[in-house]
Structure 1
Amino acid sequence: MMQVSVEAGDGLERRIRVALPADQIEVELDKRLKDMARTTRLAGFRPGKVPLKLIRQRYQEPVRREIIAEMVPGSFSEAIAQQALNPAGFPAIEPLIDVDAGEYGYTATFEIMPQFELVDLSGKTVERPNVDLTDDDRARVVERLREQRRTWRPVERAAQSGDRLTVDYRGEVDGGSFDGGEGADVLIDLGSRRSLPGLEDALIGAVAGEQKTVDLTIPDDHQNTAIQGRTVRFAVDVKEVGEPVLPEVDADFVRVFGIEDGDLERFERDIRVNMERELRQRTTSRIKEQVWNLLLEANPIPVPGALVRDEIKALKEQTTRDMKLGKSLELPDDLFEASARRRVTLGLLMREIVKKNNLQVDSARVRTAVEEIAASYESPDEVVRYYYADPKHLAPVESLVMEEQIVDWLLTSARVEDKAMSFQELVAAT
């Protein structure tokens, strides 16, 4: 066995010192130097005629370090196996070379995976949403679909909440203009709260052809840093006031949703099926979120910083892609740290549950999940074939199913209580 010593650092950090066999290194060093002597070119010597002594003087130190570096991976694997350590990431290696003493080796600093006894949810309570879908719920969904397809009709009256204004504006700070301070034919939906704070309220009561002057304090997180926290005076020209016009629920309306024959009864059935699917998904999500929170509360385990950093990097890359931010904008790590730490902790706990209970993904549940996803598409069979054509396509569904199986296992030890709530309350809670 190699000579290996272990030192515990803060938390999960470990530092091992590995002593490498000096005689083996020197034998390999001599071999490589002799091989170099056959081909090395130096001024004043013919190829292959450079004295070995000169080769040694010039090259033995870098070659020795090269040999030691090549021995690190295999010796490190042997060392952690010898000491029964489970690294959580790549080690930081520092060579230790004392030629005069004939001692060669290195220190490797790394974090280990945490060891813990899993605590289940005994004594914990999980609330299971108990929801009955009503006609009012379905009516709200239909109304939301109508609102999504509303049009706007110009009106000759004062603007009120729910109207859409078409405006030109000019903004000034201390009497001067600023970047982004002008706009033409800008649409403002009153009551949407998507404009600068205070602007929509100030435009209630405006009429077409009117100019209003509005002083607004710019939020501290505004994208234009030059005006953050400052007062801006806007001159707003109201060009048009439009009121919303909702479409009638008729054959033309339902054709937009893929019902080519305009069958209103089929539309109602589809609404019901979709709501039932959403109810199942939101109920599952609500229970899962409670279970994860209770699991984390019961198991406050340490997590390796290396894994958290890797997760932060993954979350940043995902956010950059989703928001199409581009590589020039570097998001701060602390924006993702809490989420990354939670995900890493849950991952470690779930892995322990799977290992402890020898859980295997249920292929029947995977099939059911795939079919439910496919049901919302025009050609469900094609979607199912897509998922099963490539293991990479199926992997995310298998992961979700495994999460559900873990939740089911945890619920066997918890107290589950039904909680009556409306569909709207469930939507707000998830």
Structure 2
Amino acid sequence: MQVSVETTSGLERRMTVGLPADTVDGAVEARLAETAKRVRLDGFRPGKVPVSVVRQRFGADVRNEVVGEMMREKFVEAITSEKLQPAGNPQFEAVKNERGADVEFTATFEVYPEVEVADLGAIEVTKQAAEITDEDINEMLESLRKQRVEYKPVERAAQDGDRVNINFVGKLDGEAFEGGTANDQTLVLGSGSMIPGFESGIEGMSAGEEKTIKVTFPAEYRAENLAGKEAEFDIKVNTVEEGVLPEINDEFFKSFGSEETTEESFRAEVRENMEREARNALRNKLKQSVVEALDKANQFDVPGALIHDEIHRLQHQFAQQMSQQQGQQIDPHQLPAELFTEQAKTRVRTGLIFSELAKQLEITASDERVDAYLSDVASVYQDPQSVIDYYKNNAEQLNQVKAVVLEEAIIDAVVEKANVTDESVSYAQAIAPAQPAVEEASEEEKAE
């Protein structure tokens, strides 16, 4: 077997493999003989079809089948001998494939890049920490009370925070438009669930009162025929209800599944939950800071095949999330790949960097780390041990946990060596979604 490899562009390689004619022809003849034993043809008894007839009828197909198998087999042997690491599946092409002559085929494929991780001591990482204050807990208790608010009818004009039941008809130039009419619509004033001006226009109205208000649809409104248009809404208020917040007592605690019986103990439980939420949120932000720093310091080409696979995963993840939110099935293949390309590149590059770091720093998902992770995950359940047993008895789930634990260990190793800036933030800042880093434009870009 003769093998030659050339670099066509970047990470792409074209391997040319030559196979001796007698090796290929011998394999084809053996396959034709096997076929003759089992093929059924009119005029011949089973197993008695002459090889010459089989060759005439099926020779081309059998040869292509055999050569196809040999290409895949010899490709594996060739990349092993050449010490190549393909990324994705190769594209084969039989350049020469004639009986009695040497066979030559090419395999075009991408290889994994050689990753040399930049000095970890030179990268900059921001590590945030948050302390839960009594004021944070007070605000959380008020938020929990609002989740259990009860509405009771009142005989006064509606005001911010009240719940109203209304009928309305929306009109453009005096004509009702599609989707602008509703009866017995329940609305909490000040919730922001309607377009600007709609809810505030109802404030001051009492049950049984009718009124016409003018509002302007936002320029970016989802319905193009309404975007930026001024409309009138004929509104009738059916009922006005005032929200009554529950008292903080045993019944309130039980409504959230808590077994605590005093406000002091419930506050302690709330604090513990808030600390866990803040800790997890800040851990994710630390991970993002590390990923951004590593990606910025280690720019290299990544295989297109891996990017394609990652885009495919991101499309399915996004479609699943949207399907759950909208209550209808979203086809992931309808989502433009361009939306996910840059994110996919970063994720693939980060994965390669993490893999190299795990190798260089000899980091593994140790049993101790796995046990600690599972204990933390299970701690929020009533029966933690059953959750731990579930993961440990499910190979697929356990492998996913090990992958997460390995990533966490790599993050810790990077933070230990990096130039870290500590930053104190409030609880609200801690749980707020992380904002992606935006690099300042160059002078040339600004000029453009």
Report the TM range for the smaller structure's normalisation. 0.7 to 0.9
- Residue in 2 that maps onto 1:311: 310
Contact map agreement 2:115 2:352 (CA 8 A) in 1 = no
Alpha-carbon distance in structure 2 between the residues aligned to 1:250 and 1:392: 44
Alpha-carbon distance in structure 2 between the residues aligned to 1:369 and 1:41: 62
Alpha-carbon distance in structure 1 between the residues aligned to 2:41 and 2:320: 53
- Residue in 1 that maps onto 2:184: 185
Contact map agreement 2:365 2:402 (CA 8 A) in 1 = yes
Greater alpha carbon shift after TM alignment, 293-302 vs 385-394: 385-394
- Residue in 1 that maps onto 2:211: 211
- Residue in 2 that maps onto 1:148: 147
Give the alignment partner of residue 405 of structure 1, picking from 409, 412, 422.
409
Contact map agreement 2:124 2:421 (CA 8 A) in 1 = yes
**Number of residues paired by the alignment?**
427
Q: Is residue 165 of structure 1 aligned with residue 169 of structure 2?
A: no
Q: 1:361 to 1:165 in 2, by over 3 A?
A: same
The one-character-per-residue Cα deviations of 1:377-422 (angstroms, maximum 9, x if unpaired) are: 2222332333333233333333332222111211232222332332
Offset of 1:220 from its aligned partner? 4.7
| Partner SS for 2:353 | helix
Contact map agreement 1:159 1:205 (CA 8 A) in 2 = yes
Contact map agreement 1:218 1:232 (CA 8 A) in 2 = no
Offset of 1:427 from its aligned partner? 2.5
Offset of 1:90 from its aligned partner? 0.9
The one-character-per-residue Cα deviations of 1:146-181 (angstroms, maximum 9, x if unpaired) are: 111112233444444433332223345566666534
Contact map agreement 1:170 1:236 (CA 8 A) in 2 = yes
- Residue in 1 that maps onto 2:64: 65
Offset of 1:355 from its aligned partner? 1.1
Q: 1:341 to 1:179 in 2, by over 3 A?
A: farther
Alpha-carbon distance in structure 1 between the residues aligned to 2:122 and 2:367: 32
- Residue in 2 that maps onto 1:333: 337
Q: 1:189 to 1:88 in 2, by over 3 A?
A: farther
Q: Is residue 79 of structure 1 aligned with residue 78 of structure 2?
A: yes
Greater alpha carbon shift after TM alignment, 164-173 vs 301-310: 164-173
Alpha-carbon distance in structure 2 between the residues aligned to 1:132 and 1:60: 77
Q: 1:101 to 1:39 in 2, by over 3 A?
A: closer
Q: Is residue 244 of structure 1 aligned with residue 247 of structure 2?
A: no
- Residue in 1 that maps onto 2:8: 9
Q: 1:30 to 1:217 in 2, by over 3 A?
A: same
> Structure 1, unaligned stretches of length 5 or more?
none
Q: 1:57 to 1:396 in 2, by over 3 A?
A: closer
- Residue in 2 that maps onto 1:423: 427
Offset of 1:254 from its aligned partner? 1.1
- Sequence identity percentage: 37
- Residue in 1 that maps onto 2:280: 281
Q: Where in structure 2 are the equivalents of 1:382-397 lying within 5 Å?
A: 382-397=386-401
Greater alpha carbon shift after TM alignment, 86-95 vs 51-60: 51-60
Offset of 1:98 from its aligned partner? 4.2
The one-character-per-residue Cα deviations of 1:207-260 (angstroms, maximum 9, x if unpaired) are: 4422334444366562x5665666655444333333332111122111212334
Greater alpha carbon shift after TM alignment, 146-155 vs 235-244: 235-244
The one-letter amino acid paired with 2:261 is G
Alpha-carbon distance in structure 2 between the residues aligned to 1:394 and 1:35: 46
The one-letter amino acid paired with 1:341 is K
Alpha-carbon distance in structure 2 between the residues aligned to 1:413 and 1:46: 77
| Partner SS for 1:89 | strand
The one-letter amino acid paired with 1:413 is K
Q: 1:178 to 1:83 in 2, by over 3 A?
A: farther
Contact map agreement 1:120 1:410 (CA 8 A) in 2 = no
Alpha-carbon distance in structure 2 between the residues aligned to 1:265 and 1:144: 17
Alpha-carbon distance in structure 2 between the residues aligned to 1:79 and 1:197: 67
Q: 1:295 to 1:172 in 2, by over 3 A?
A: same
Offset of 1:279 from its aligned partner? 3.1
The one-character-per-residue Cα deviations of 1:265-318 (angstroms, maximum 9, x if unpaired) are: 321221122222223223322322211111111111211121121122122222
Contact map agreement 1:29 1:63 (CA 8 A) in 2 = yes
What's the TM-score, normalizing by structure 1? 0.88
Alpha-carbon distance in structure 1 between the residues aligned to 2:341 and 2:110: 18
Q: 1:384 to 1:59 in 2, by over 3 A?
A: closer
Offset of 1:145 from its aligned partner? 0.8
Alpha-carbon distance in structure 2 between the residues aligned to 1:382 and 1:52: 64
Alpha-carbon distance in structure 1 between the residues aligned to 2:118 and 2:73: 37
The one-letter amino acid paired with 2:383 is S
- Residue in 1 that maps onto 2:418: 414
Contact map agreement 1:121 1:294 (CA 8 A) in 2 = no
CA RMSD across the alignment? 2.9
Greater alpha carbon shift after TM alignment, 170-179 vs 125-134: 170-179
Alpha-carbon distance in structure 2 between the residues aligned to 1:199 and 1:410: 52
- Residue in 1 that maps onto 2:374: 370
Q: Is residue 132 of structure 1 aligned with residue 135 of structure 2?
A: no
Alpha-carbon distance in structure 2 between the residues aligned to 1:378 and 1:360: 30
Alpha-carbon distance in structure 1 between the residues aligned to 2:229 and 2:54: 71
Alpha-carbon distance in structure 1 between the residues aligned to 2:88 and 2:6: 17
- Residue in 1 that maps onto 2:319: 320
Contact map agreement 2:87 2:111 (CA 8 A) in 1 = yes
Alpha-carbon distance in structure 2 between the residues aligned to 1:182 and 1:4: 73
Q: 1:40 to 1:417 in 2, by over 3 A?
A: closer
Contact map agreement 2:164 2:241 (CA 8 A) in 1 = yes
Q: Where in structure 2 are the equivalents of 1:197-208 lying within 5 Å?
A: 197-208=196-207
The one-character-per-residue Cα deviations of 1:115-160 (angstroms, maximum 9, x if unpaired) are: 1211133233333324332211111111111111112233444444
| Partner SS for 2:371 | helix
